[in-house]
Structure 1
Amino acid sequence: MCPSLRYLKVTDFWFPELTVHSPTLEKLDLNYREGAGSDLISLIDVSAPRLEEVSFDIKADPDLSVSFSAPMVKEIFWHCKFEDEDTGELPCIGLSSLIYSLRRGVRQLCLSIVYLDYLSEEADWTFEEEISQLPLLSRLSVLELELEMKRHAFAPLVLHLLHEIPPAKELNIELTQARKVGMQCPPDCPCDQSNNNWRNENISLTHLEVVTLDGFEGHDDEVDFRKVLFRCATHLKKMTVEVSSEGYEKICSNCEQYPDVKCLVYLA
């Protein structure tokens, strides 16, 4: 214990558990160095009543547990990388990385999600365990989702996350891999549109004001997803869509049905 510690920086993790309890600490910087022999982090326990600035850039165990108490914190950068394998949370879906930041009162959460080539028998349909451990998440400003789609439908996953994550004013979705027309989910896949009724789902999105959609191609499920947003986000002010030339006219036609929302459509 250092009675006058103000700034602590850790760059190598030789143990999977990290505990920092300090009554004087004001700045904390934890940085995982790839290839340095560091362990995957399974436990973070921070209690620092004077802590104002914290930066985590770590490679996390899928069973990561977090305890964070810092009532004076003003700035947060929280980057957790996960193995590109099934996390045991969603069938055929893996969480690749999670970035959470707090800066100048703006709280932003970015999830990078990949669709896997196999199903997990142990998985359930929730990300709550990872997301709920983030500090001050209840007042989220921006939610970003980076989705590597392969051949899967994205709408059921996104709507589920909107159910589970505290409401945000701004939603940004990026589809990072093109989907070919006619490609179908494997049998019994949770994304299989015949096994759910997501197009008729009613979800409270009254806080949502701005939506940005990148990587769209005008597929029917993309148009239907936008209809769900238009219906449920009753205070939506602006939607921006980046779409391929093949889907441009379809997306523009859909926008004309919602004159109260400012729609901007750009060619990818």
Structure 2
Amino acid sequence: MDSENLWARPVGIVAPMLKQLTLFLHAYNQVTISILAPMLENVSWQCLYGTGTIGFGLWTLEKLSLHTAEKHSSLQIHACNSWFTFSDEEANFAQEIEKHMIVEFSALELHLSAMGHVFGAFVSHLLGLNRIRSAIRRLKVTLLRLEEEEMCPANCPCESTNWRTQIISLIALEEVEIDGFRGDAHEHDFLKLIFSCAPILKRMIVRLSDEVSSSNDRCTEIYDIFRGYSSVKCNVYLSSGKYMFCMHDLYAL
């Protein structure tokens, strides 16, 4: 089903023997989804949202995808931070995302355009959703940067929650990858949050943004954080892809 040139609100499928589903749609507003396909195995699901249609705080949902593969299935969420809209409809935002979880998944990929704002509160909210926190084994956060970004002002709504001290039970999370890490204070706080909430975490991969070099003080700060978690294999890469260090190797020495 491909509704690239149409706006869709209801999606209803009743197909008891269906095994493969490919769907692409545009959503003008909240989508009503009803899927009855108990034999469903392979899914390629993508939904694009109109600007400012579904939001939480300063964040608006841009695209949501769900794909299955042989080894794992992944839920992908694309969101953008904007000063132009603000929504306090937390419950509606969560419900909209959960509607698209039509099959089990083990990986969560977040593509975030933070526009200089703090993303920790938004990501911790997503990780706290019941079907996400109990399911994901792999988390990838891609931070999409602009060449020039303004830092958010004091008392910005993006810092409206106490996300730094939240306890999220990520009982299945084994691997985390963060791409575009700049080393701001709130990004360090996000690292610490993940470490404290994932008891069986095995690997942390950090890929630095263009602003960070191997001689930058921010690399030292990342190193200092990783030192406290000797059971986790932590790898750091420059934006060029050059390998910097692995904390696991340093401990072995």
TM-score range, shorter chain: 0.7 to 0.9
Q: Which residue of 106, 109, 130 corresponds with 1:141?
A: 106
Decide which moves more: 222-231 or 99-108. Answer: 99-108
Residue 203 in structure 1 maps to residue 168 in structure 2:
yes
State the match for 1:235 in structure 2. Answer: 200
Q: How well do the aligned residues superpose, as a CA RMSD in angstroms?
A: 2.0
Mapped contact 1:149–1:179 kept (Cα < 8 A):
no
Matched residue SS, 2:99 = coil
Q: Given the two structures, how large is their TM-score scaled by the length of structure 1?
A: 0.79
Equivalent residue letter for 1:118 = F
Residues 108-155 of structure 1, C-alpha deviations (whole Å, 9 max, x = no match)? 1000000122233x5422432222222444x32000000001021000
State the match for 2:250 in structure 1. Answer: none
State the match for 1:7 in structure 2. Answer: none
The structure whose residues are more often helix, as a share, is 2
Quote the Cα distance in structure 2 between the aligned partners of 1:99 and 1:113: 12
State the match for 1:177 in structure 2. Answer: 145
The correspondence of residues 154-173 of structure 1 with structure 2, limited to 5 A, is 154-164=119-129, 165-167=131-133, 168-173=136-141
Decide which moves more: 139-148 or 87-96. Answer: 87-96
Using the TM superposition, give the Cα deviation of residue 183 of structure 1 relative to its aligned residue in structure 2, in angstroms.
1.2
Equivalent residue letter for 1:230 = F
Q: Which residue of 72, 75, 86 corresponds with 2:39?
A: 72
Matched residue SS, 2:18 = coil
**Percent identity of paired positions between Structure 1 and Structure 2:** 28
Mapped contact 1:78–1:99 kept (Cα < 8 A):
yes
Structure 1: where are the runs of 5+ without partners?
A: 1-29
> Kindly tell me: are residues 95 and 216 of structure 1, through their superposed partners in 2, closer, same or farther at Cα, counting changes over 3 Å?
same
State the match for 1:108 in structure 2. Answer: 74
> Kindly tell me: are residues 249 and 186 of structure 1, through their superposed partners in 2, closer, same or farther at Cα, counting changes over 3 Å?
closer
Using the TM superposition, give the Cα deviation of residue 178 of structure 1 relative to its aligned residue in structure 2, in angstroms.
4.9
Matched residue SS, 1:63 = coil
Q: Which runs of 4+ in 1 moved over 4 A?
A: 178-182, 185-188
Decide which moves more: 100-109 or 207-216. Answer: 100-109
State the match for 1:152 in structure 2. Answer: 117
Aligned residues: 229
Using the TM superposition, give the Cα deviation of residue 240 of structure 1 relative to its aligned residue in structure 2, in angstroms.
0.2
The correspondence of residues 1-268 of structure 1 with structure 2, limited to 5 A, is 30-33=1-4, 38-83=5-50, 85-104=51-70, 106-120=72-86, 123-126=88-91, 127-137=93-103, 139-164=104-129, 165-167=131-133, 168-178=136-146, 183-185=151-153, 187=155, 189=157, 191-192=158-159, 195-243=160-208, 244-245=212-213, 246=216, 247-268=218-239
Quote the Cα distance in structure 2 between the aligned partners of 1:217 and 1:228: 17
Equivalent residue letter for 1:89 = G
Matched residue SS, 1:174 = strand
Equivalent residue letter for 2:97 = I
Using the TM superposition, give the Cα deviation of residue 103 of structure 1 relative to its aligned residue in structure 2, in angstroms.
2.4
Quote the Cα distance in structure 2 between the aligned partners of 1:105 and 1:44: 28
Mapped contact 2:115–2:149 kept (Cα < 8 A):
no
Mapped contact 1:88–1:123 kept (Cα < 8 A):
no
Quote the Cα distance in structure 2 between the aligned partners of 1:254 and 1:155: 17
Quote the Cα distance in structure 2 between the aligned partners of 1:104 and 1:88: 31
Matched residue SS, 1:32 = strand
State the match for 1:16 in structure 2. Answer: none
In our comparison, the structure showing a higher alpha carbon Rg is: 1
Equivalent residue letter for 1:265 = V
Structure 2: where are the runs of 5+ without partners?
A: 240-253
Mapped contact 2:28–2:53 kept (Cα < 8 A):
no
